[in-house]
Amino acid sequence: MNVYRYRCSVCKRPWVQTTDDTCACVYCGAAGQTPTGIVARYVEDSTGCWIWQGRTNNLGYGVVSIDGRETYAHRWTYAQRSGPIPKGADIDHLCRRPPCVNPAHLEAVTHAENLRRGAGTKLTVEQVKEIRRRRNAGETCNALGLEFGVHGAHVSKITRGKKWPDRDVLIGGRTA
């Protein structure tokens, strides 16, 4: 038997996983949440997403209780398969599906990058580079804004590095 650091939600004693991969608390017999038990709580769909079947929050993200502390299921599976999550990093769903816990669909990124990749983002990285290149060549913010579907003030912020600041494109003699 392998002993894990996870605890029973009923009696608060450590879980034990038996050799036949069944999970149970040795002390009270409750069905378990060992690593195997948690990862097995998904269903793979035709796109390769592992859709979480346990409890979810109001945004659709899977939630698990580990050692009496709640955490997101996708963060837990990422850490189990890919190692520790860097401090301050978000785990981005490359598939854009909150209930997915497939580590191949998850990537550790900065919070700013995660927001940029989100569903509400209007511009791609390539479009931002194109806006910066063309603005540096003299096109107006309003004209570029109309073409790319954003406000001219937003184009100005992009070219000054106030929006998308970590993109290494030279603007007006400085790195934005």
Span 85-95, pLDDT tens digits: 888 899 999 88
- The rounded distance, in Å, linking the Cα atoms of 141 and 151 is 8
Helices 141-148 and 125-136: crossing angle, nearest 10°?
A: 150
Which of 155, 154, 157, 156 has the alpha carbon at shortest distance from 165? 157
Domain ranges across the chain: 1-38, 41-109, 125-175
pLDDT value of position 119:
64
Q: What is the pTM of this model?
A: 0.55
- The rounded distance, in Å, linking the Cα atoms of 9 and 43 is 24
Q: Which two tokens stand for residue 15?
A: 């879980």
Q: State the pLDDT confidence band at 113, using cuts at 50, 70 and 90.
A: confident
Q: State the pLDDT confidence band at 2, using cuts at 50, 70 and 90.
A: very low
Q: State the pLDDT confidence band at 136, using cuts at 50, 70 and 90.
A: very high
Give the mean pLDDT of the chain: 75
| Contact residues for 129 (Cβ-Cβ < 8 A; gap 6+) | 167, 169
pLDDT value of position 170:
36
Q: For residue range 46-98, what is the model confidence (pLDDT) as tens digits?
A: 888 888 888 889 989 998 877 677 889 899 888 878 888 888 899 999 888 99
Which SS3 state, helix, strand or coil, does residue 91 take?
strand
Can you tell me which residue has the tokens 């060549």?
Answer: 137
- The rounded distance, in Å, linking the Cα atoms of 153 and 110 is 25
| Contact residues for 21 (Cβ-Cβ < 8 A; gap 6+) | 36
Determine what percent of the chain is predicted with pLDDT higher than 90.
20
- The rounded distance, in Å, linking the Cα atoms of 1 and 43 is 27
